[in-house]
Amino acid sequence: MTVSADPAAAIPGAEGVLDTTGRRLLADLVSTPSHSGDESAAAHRLAGFFEEHDREAWIDEAGNVRAPGDDAVLLTSHVDTVPGEIPVRVEDGDDELGAVGPVLWGRGSVDATGALAAMAVAAVETGASFVGVVGEETDSRGARHLIEDREAPAAVINGEPSGWDAITLGYRGIVAGEYAVTTPAGHGARPEATAIDHATAWWERVRAAVEAANADEAPGGFDTITATAASVDGGPTDDGTAVAASMATRFRVPPSETPDSVRAVVEDCLDAGEIAWGQSIPPHVASARGPLPAALRTAIREAGGEPTHLHKTGTADANLYADAWDVPTVTYGPGDASLDHAPDERLPLAAFDRASAVLTTACAQLTD
């Protein structure tokens, strides 16, 4: 698919580079701010792409872009990005990435607008079903709505950066919890523990318990629990009668655990205060066997690559789809995942082109 005019006038360094509709869509989406909760402009641009190619598309009540098609495979990635402004531009080559040719800089280029645009191209070419979901970087509200609002497809390719020649088979899950404790106000010379003391002591116990649970695994690996304090607040209450402390926490859940088993580890560390649990996402590990990963491997080889399989320590919407629909689910997309959320996020356009070709070849096989 090509376009007759150069769409690069507003992007430094892009003259003569955005010479396919896929590259143009990618650049347009990366140039459109789409932080979680503010995805509307990017969603409308994405829906317009399908309409331009005579595909039915609409934006549902959650904000997802829906383009129904052949449900032998559902292509889905997220429209939203994390905050952070990166000037959109094209640079020639990148020694760090080992890339020759144009490289597109901008927030979302890797996570996961590259995958999103490549999937849109493949869906138009092959007739595969497509959904661009919102809120993946926060509460996965788009994916949760999708699960409740449509029938399960036969298979899912979820869009996240794996590198154009790799397939992600597994992600850890996640559990979120908000710890809170309050103690009566007292003079600073008194020996009694305050809410802040209780909160810090609780977190030290949690970290020790997690370390013990991980004792037989390599530190920080796919098969470990990870405990992260996302934010901490504490001090006298407004009326001065008490001291309050709170901590927002996140726990990554390996395949050997469940959200419930991780909650139990954390709750066993309580001796004051309480923890309110939020939504959770279970871990997911897909089989490397079957038509879905085989189609992607074949397509990668046809594009000149040697496919590999990945297990990633983060969490993705793929976990939700696999758990709710119980269908083969893998994750694929261009880009170096080490650049997720980074201030130097960027994507070689050659990798984007190859990922678009891989997805098109794989979907043609799966929908045949």
Q: Per the structure block, which two tokens stand in for 323? A: 């758990």
Given 94, 136, 137, 340, the catalytic residue:
136
DSSP string, 133-148: ES-TTTT-HHHHHHHH
Tokens 């390599």 locate to 218
Question: What's the DSSP call for residue 194?
Answer: P
Annotation says 137 is catalytic: no
DSSP-based three-state secondary structure for 232: strand
DSSP bridge pairs for 329: 156
Q: What is the largest CA-CA distance in the chain?
A: 77
As a whole number of angstroms, the distance between CA 112 and CA 345 comes to 11
Beta-bridge partner residues of 243: 183, 236
270: number of CA atoms within 13 Å, CB side? 15
Contact 292, 306 (CB under 8 A): no
What is the chain's alpha carbon radius of gyration, rounded to the nearest angstrom? 23
Active-site residue identified among 28, 80, 160, 353: 80
For this structure, is 91 an active site residue?
Answer: no
Backbone torsion region of residue 341, taken as left when φ is above 0, otherwise alpha when ψ lies between -120 and 50, otherwise beta: left
Give the list of residues 6+ apart from residue 355 with CB closer than 8 angstroms, or none. Answer: 114, 115, 118, 164, 332, 333, 334
Q: Which of 269, 171, 162 minimizes the C-alpha distance to 213?
A: 269
Under 8 Å CB-to-CB from 177, ≥6 apart: which residues? Answer: 248, 249, 250, 251, 263, 266, 275, 276, 277, 278
Task: List residues with catalytic annotation.
Answer: 80, 136
